[in-house]
Structure 1
Amino acid sequence: MVKPIFILIVAFLLSLSPEKVFSQNYNKLVYNVKGDLNNDNLEDLVTVKADTADLHHPFLFEIKFQTKGGKYVTVLKSETAVMDKYPEGTSSSLCILESLKVNKGMIIFRNQMDRGSMTHKFRFQHNNFELIGYTYHYAAPGAMEFVDYNLSTGEKLEKKTEYETDQILEKKTSIVKMNPLPNLKNFHPLDFTY
């Protein structure tokens, strides 16, 4: 009787573990980017791996902080930060990670869409990777749409320009504060369009 109860307790405690078990076979390294993310003058590591055997071609995004001893410690894993290459299981993609880089302590994702692009900038602050910048370009019917949003200050610029003349059709500047800022832990590129 004690043994089954012990097994149930262990199973329950394991289910509470903050570390998610990733069951995919991420067999191909797509990005391997280094840069100091936590301002300790050590090069941290950001990787994206793909599961090329899966119909949807999912990705695993990982951030590893370097220790003073030169080892890397995983601080974040996400299967949603980079969209599946084929989310519907076909050969089409809604949003493809075009580039990933570390610059001035920020992780910068640039995603390409059919008629535009999105750039998301994350910085390690308040013990999280928080979204601090967002830029959006889109070829809408009759006009180019542009959004530049500094989430740190709340300043947001929205603009529409005519294709052929670059004439500004609409321009709006506003202050839109967000608290708390979106977190990379829960990030999905198409959920964070502003």
Structure 2
Amino acid sequence: MQTSLLRELVVETPIISATYDQLLQKSVNKHLPDPATQCQYPTTASTKQVRPGTNISETFKRKLRLGARILQMGGVDKVFKQFFNVKEGERLLKATHCYLSTTSGPLAGFLFISTDKVSFCSERSMKVYTQKGHMLRIRYKVVIPLKKIKCVNKSENVKKPTQKYIEIVTEDNFDFWFLGVFKYQKTFKYLDQAVSQA
């Protein structure tokens, strides 16, 4: 029963995976500008965009804990394979820590770029209740096949250019915003190349 509910909550489909907020029929971009109608480089973002907390010591401690956990699990490749279905021949190109903009605010986690998809998995699990009242803990996941991505855009806060964002727009005009991306330029380069070669 638990496995079937998890499949309902996070199902890797040809378009995108269902996420917790999608189940609640909320849009992931309420805090951010409307989805792009055309893909353009570069874009600038509204100053009303959400951003991760600025407590540097807490961020540093979180990254240390996360790094230690990844080492315990056997490395980034194994973490990727544990959280997502990996096709035969699929290779992980880049993994980085970032935040995904959601209706509840920025959610810390990992962005994975592979030869087949772009994936996000939350750092922490969250509580979800079934219709029968059973509580499950699941990770917030997003899976976007590279072939379904219309474009990726660079964006920044107009008043604070150091706050940079990556927007992914799918063919069905769904948009995903990633912020606080570690090694922003390098990550964007990997993402742009992966999409163009898909």
Higher strand share: 1
Higher helix share: 2
Per the TM superposition, whether the score is higher than 0.5 is no
Report which structure shows greater RCO (CA 8 Å, sep ≥6).
2
TM-score when scaled to structure 2? 0.28
